[in-house]
Amino acid sequence: MLKVLAIIFTVVVTSFYFFPFEFAFLPGVNTKMIMAACGLVILGINLARERNALINKDWFQLSIWGIVVSVIGLISITYNDTPDYTYATYIISMWVWLGGAYTVTRLIKWVHGQVSIQLVCYYLIAVCVTQCIIAFAMGQFPYLKQFVDSFLASEGFMGKVKGRLYGIGASLDVAGMRFAAVLLMIAYFVVNSCKKQSVYWVIGSGIAFWIISVIGCMIGRTTSIGIIAALSYWIMVNIFSKGNKENIKSFMPYFLSISAFFLLAVVYLYHTNIEVYNNIRFGFEGFFSLWEKGRWEVSSNEILKDMYIFPSELKTWIIGDGYFDKPDKIDPTYIAHYWGGEHTDVGYLRFIFYFGLIGMLAFAFYMCKAAWICKNHFPNQWLLFVAVLFLNYIVWFKVSSDLFLVFALFLCVSQEENEAYMKRISLKES
Sign of CA dihedral 84, 88, 89, 93: positive
* Beta-bridge mates of residue 23: 152
pLDDT band at 428 (very low <50, low <70, confident <90, very high): low
What mean pLDDT, rounded, does the chain reach? 85
**pLDDT band at 394; cut points 50, 70, 90:** very high
Question: Does the structure show a pLDDT above 90 at 339?
Answer: no
> What's at 375, amino acid-wise?
K
The pLDDT of residue 340 is: 39
Question: How many structural domains compose the chain?
Answer: 1
Dist CA 362 CA 340 (whole Å): 27
* C-alpha–C-alpha distance, residues 130 and 134, integer Å: 6
**Count of Cβ atoms closer than 10 Å to residue 271 Cβ:** 9
Average pLDDT of the segment spanning 336-348 = 59
What is the per-residue pLDDT for 336? 47
DSSP string, 133-167: HHHHHHHH-HHHHHHHHHHB-TTTTGGGTTTS---
315's CB contacts (< 8 A; 6+ apart) are none
Which percentage of the chain shows pLDDT scores above 90?
43
Write out the DSSP string of 321-358. Answer: -S--S-HHHH-TT---SSSTT-----HHHHHHHHHHHH
Judge whether residue 53 has pLDDT over 90: no
Average pLDDT over residues 385-408: 93
Higher per-residue confidence, 127 vs 341: 127
Cα dihedral 181/166/323/361 (nearest 10)? 0
Mean pLDDT of 109-130: 94
Most confident of 164-173, 288-297, 328-337: 164-173
* CA-angle at 100, arms to 18 and 45, nearest 5°: 150
Q: What pLDDT sits at residue 86?
A: 86
pLDDT attached to residue 47: 66
Ranges 69-78, 300-309, 371-380, 391-400: which has the least confidence? 300-309
CB 168 within 8 A of CB 158: no
The string of DSSP letters for 350-390 reads: HHHHHHHHHHHHHHHHHHHHHHHHHHHH-GGGHHHHHHHHH
- Contact between 307 and 342 under an 8 Å Cβ cutoff? The reply is yes
Mean pLDDT calculated for residue range 140-144: 89
Q: Are 65 and 365 in contact (CB under 8 A)?
A: yes
286-300 mean pLDDT? 67
More confident residue, 161 or 151: 151
Reference 43, options 113, 111, 116, 102; nearest CA is 102
Question: Which stretch of 37-46, 58-67, 120-129, 287-296 has the lowest confidence by average pLDDT?
Answer: 287-296
Rounded Cα distance between 237 and 383, Å, is 12
- Mean pLDDT value of segment 255-271: 91
Please name every residue paired with 152 in a beta bridge, in sequence order, or none if there are none: 23
Better pLDDT: 251 or 362: 362
In total, the chain counts a number of residues equal to 430
Q: Which of 186, 212, 217, 181 is nearest to 403 (CA)?
A: 181
Q: What is the pLDDT of residue 262?
A: 92
In angstroms, the CA 367 to CA 348 distance is 14
Q: What is the mean pLDDT of the segment spanning 193-208?
A: 86
If we measure between CA atoms, which residue out of 382, 364, 362, 358 comes closest to residue 372? 382
Q: CA–CA separation, 183 vs 233, rounded Å?
A: 11
Residue numbers of the domain that contains 124: 2-429
Question: Please, are residues 15 and 130 in contact by the beta-carbon 8 Å criterion?
Answer: yes
What is the mean predicted confidence (pLDDT) over 177-186?
96
Judged against a pLDDT cut of 80, whether residue 163 lies above it is answered with no
Backbone angles phi, psi at 23, to 5 degrees: -75, 145
Residues 103, 15: Cα–Cα separation, whole Å: 12
What 3-state DSSP class applies to 422? helix
Q: What is the DSSP string of 231-269?
A: HHHHHHHHHH-TTTHHHHHHHHHHHHHHHHHHHHHHHHH
How far apart are the C-alpha atoms of 125 and 412, rounded to whole Å? 18
Query: 404: Cβ–Cβ under 8 A, 6 or more apart, which residues?
Result: 94, 97, 367, 370
Provide the 10 A C-beta neighbour count for residue 133.
Answer: 13
